[in-house]
């Protein structure tokens, strides 16, 4: 076997072939800008950038070949927990630096802090920075971040969730003209911050505000966006209440912008009060927007006229179906196209307890969205079964269900989970003398799921009979499986819900639609 002519040894490969193998072997950490997690927080563990260390130790030929192709192979030196940075800088080639301390459960030692400062002082070599550590330690490191970082592409900085001792602020003179991805949590942002006003290459901007002290007005956001022509993903999250007067107030130092058009924005996620969102949407045009994700923050009433106009003028946000998912502490509304049922160009989350509050909330919102919801043809209701408790408030006034259903005057197919069959059928019953034939006037089919021996389809009998008598027959279908089309439980689509859809290890790690 040893003399077989069919055995090829890697040592006979020419340099170009071997180099191509090394190139293919590289882990795709920063190459996948289209991947959501990678865009927001950097994706996988950055210490995998050390992939070439062992290869360079195989033999002298490999080491020379690798070190002579640093740009082609995107070689980096990694500074992370336990890295002897001073020795690494003294005895390694002057390659770009990756600084990664983003595991909140690990302690940053005094030696680690010294290493981070040494690495940050190499301003012309720092390519990626990701830090998650207590605020007091972060403040010490921020003192070393100043002036220009010409190579910096990723900057992610986040204090732990349980550390709210004070707000953080980056130096106003900090700038990174080649920055592509920026994520900051609880940072005070000066209106004329050079980091934001010189970031002409920025592709992703994610700002999470968990303390009222870091709040900024809508006009400040629009001002920053005017300097970001390449921006594709924007995430803005306020997890505290913002009074209307604060949204409407315009500080004297803030330039007033009447309108902004980010030409390449494709994904916009917002978490906060509707007043803030309205103040942004009425002054922004996004010709290439494909996804709009909204999470309203603890609101009893919601007014969203600008959202209706914004969606109507955004060509790439189209849908003909809506799915409602009711959970114990929240309700989702995801708008989808029947042609791509796993893609949600528009989805709304309302954090609230109890089914009666949840139905009332979505009824109010979709009544306001009547201009766009009236074109929906496919409607789906799902429900996470709540524990039986007198505090659940799971019985919903039928007027709230009817208010919600009246927003969908063009629906042709209705799909209902077992847990909501009785609730929805009750709103369609005629036992009070009312004849609600104005509900879902174009309805042609009801598909429902059930469990056990009870035939839940009987609940729709009076509605089906009334529609038949009125000359508007409706077909009742009970599928053999527990899944409801178009969205099977085994392949539930993911709703992007900031601030959760970012990497494991972050305090913002997220959930899927069925979470």
The number of helices, as runs of H, and strands, as runs of E, in the chain is 17, 18
Q: Which of 35-44, 75-84, 414-423 has the lowest mean pLDDT?
A: 35-44
User: Which of 66-70, 196-200, 297-301, 389-393 is least confident?
Assistant: 389-393
Q: What is the mean pLDDT of the chain?
A: 82
For 8-21, what is each residue's pLDDT tens digit?
577 788 889 999 99
- Is the confidence at residue 4, as pLDDT, over 70? no
Q: What is the mean pLDDT of the segment spanning 300-328? A: 88
Confidence of residue 497 (pLDDT cuts 50, 70, 90): very low
Confidence class for position 5, pLDDT limits 50, 70, 90: low
The answer, yes or no, to whether residue 246 has pLDDT greater than 70, is: no
Residue ranges of alpha helices (H) inside 152-264 are: 194-197, 218-225, 244-248
Give yes or no for residue 499 having a pLDDT over 50: no
240 confidence band (pLDDT: 50, 70, 90): confident
- The predicted model gives 268-290 an average pLDDT of 93
CB 373, CB 364: distance < 8 Å: no
Q: With 90 as the cut, is the pLDDT of residue 114 above it?
A: yes
At 338 the pLDDT is: 86
CB 96 within 8 A of CB 127: yes
Q: pTM for this one?
A: 0.84
Predicted local distance difference test score (pLDDT) of residue 390 = 44
Determine the Cα angle at 19 with ends 13 and 22, to 5°: 110
pLDDT tens digits, residue range 393-413?
Answer: 567 888 899 999 999 999 999
Q: Which tens digit of pLDDT belongs to each residue from 353-390?
A: 888 889 999 999 998 888 888 889 999 999 876 554 44
Residue 296 has phi, psi (to 5 degrees) of: -80, 140
Q: What is the pLDDT of residues 252-262, one digit of tens each?
A: 555 666 799 99
Give 83-112 pLDDT, tens digit per residue: 999 999 999 999 999 999 987 678 889 999
CA 295 to CA 290: how far, in whole Å? 17
The per-residue pLDDT for 395 is 74
Instruction: Convert the pLDDT of each residue in 316-345 to its tens digit.
Output: 888 999 999 998 889 999 999 888 888 899
Look at residue 212 in the predicted model and tell me its pLDDT.
86
At 491 the pLDDT is 34
Minimum mean pLDDT among 169-178, 219-228, 493-502: which range? 493-502
Share of the chain above pLDDT 70, in %: 79
- 305 versus 495: the higher-pLDDT residue is 305
pLDDT grade, residue 462 (50/70/90)? confident
Per DSSP, 119 falls in state H
Which of 124-133, 240-249, 258-267, 370-379 shows the lowest mean pLDDT across its residues? 240-249
Q: Residues near 277 by Cβ (< 8 Å), separated by ≥ 6? A: 270, 294, 304, 306, 307
pLDDT score of 426: 82
**Could you report the per-residue pLDDT of 131-170, keeping only the tens digit for each?**
988 888 888 888 888 889 999 999 999 887 666 667 788 8
The strand ranges marked E within 300-412 are: 321-326, 330-336, 346-351, 378-383
Q: What is the pLDDT of residue 231?
A: 96
For residue 316, the model assigns a pLDDT of: 86
Residue 250's pLDDT is 59
Contact 218, 246 (CB under 8 A): no
């Amino acid at each position: 076997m040893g003399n077989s002519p069919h055995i090829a040894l890697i040592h006979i490969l020419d340099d170009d072939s071997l180099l191509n193998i090394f190139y293919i072997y590289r882990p795709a950490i920063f190459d996948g800008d289209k991947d959501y997690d990678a865009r927001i927080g950097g994706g996988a563990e950055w210490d995998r950038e050390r992939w070439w260390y062992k290869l360079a130790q195989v033999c002298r030929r490999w080491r020379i070949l690798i070190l002579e192709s640093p740009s082609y192979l995107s070689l980096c030196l990694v500074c992370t927990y336990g890295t002897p940075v001073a020795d690494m800088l003294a005895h390694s080639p002057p390659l770009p630096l990756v600084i990664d301390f983003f595991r909140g459960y690990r302690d940053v030692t005094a030696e680690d802090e010294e290493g981070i400062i040494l690495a940050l002082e190499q301003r012309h070599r720092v390519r990626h920075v990701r830090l998650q550590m207590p605020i007091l330690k972060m403040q010490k490191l921020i003192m070393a971040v100043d002036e220009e970082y010409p190579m910096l592409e990723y900057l992610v900085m986040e204090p732990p969730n349980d550390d709210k001792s004070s707000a953080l602020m980056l130096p106003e003179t900090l700038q990174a003209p080649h920055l592509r991805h920026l994520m900051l949590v609880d940072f005070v942002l000066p209106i004329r911050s050079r980091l934001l006003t010189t970031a002409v290459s920025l592709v992703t901007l994610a700002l999470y505000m968990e303390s009222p002290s870091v709040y900024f007005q809508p006009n400040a956001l629009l001002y920053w966006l005017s300097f970001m022509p390449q921006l594709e993903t924007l995430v803005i999250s306020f997890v505290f209440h913002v009074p209307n007067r604060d949204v409407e107030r315009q500080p004297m130092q803030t330039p007033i912008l009447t309108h902004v058009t980010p030409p390449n924005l494709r994904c916009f996620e917002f978490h906060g009060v509707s007043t803030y969102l309205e103040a942004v949407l009425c002054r922004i045009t996004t010709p290439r927007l494909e996804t709009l994700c909204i999470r309203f923050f603890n609101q009893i009433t919601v007014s969203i006229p600008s959202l209706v106009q914004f969606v109507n003028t955004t060509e790439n946000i189209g849908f003909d179906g809506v799915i409602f998912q009711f959970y114990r502490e929240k309700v989702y509304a995801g708008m989808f196209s029947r042609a791509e049922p796993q893609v949600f160009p528009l989805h709304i989350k309302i954090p609230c307890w109890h089914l009666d509050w949840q139905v009332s909330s979505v009824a109010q919102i979709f009544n306001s969205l009547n201009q766009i919801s009236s074109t929906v043809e496919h409607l789906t209701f799902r429900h996470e079964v709540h524990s039986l408790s007198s505090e659940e408030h799971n019985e919903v006034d039928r007027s709230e269900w009817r208010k919600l259903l009246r927003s969908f005057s063009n629906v042709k197919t209705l799909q209902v989970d077992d847990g909501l069959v009785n609730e929805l059928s009750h709103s369609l019953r005629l036992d009070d003398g009312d004849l609600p034939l104005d509900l879902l006037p174009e309805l042609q089919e009801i598909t429902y799921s059930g469990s056990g021996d009870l035939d839940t389809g009987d609940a729709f009998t009076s509605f089906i009979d009334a529609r038949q008598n009125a000359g508007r027959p409706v077909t009742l279908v009970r599928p053999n499986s527990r899944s409801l089309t178009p969205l099977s439980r085994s392949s539930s689509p993911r709703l992007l819900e900031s601030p959760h859809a970012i990497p494991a290890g972050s305090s913002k790690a997220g959930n899927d639609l069925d979470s």
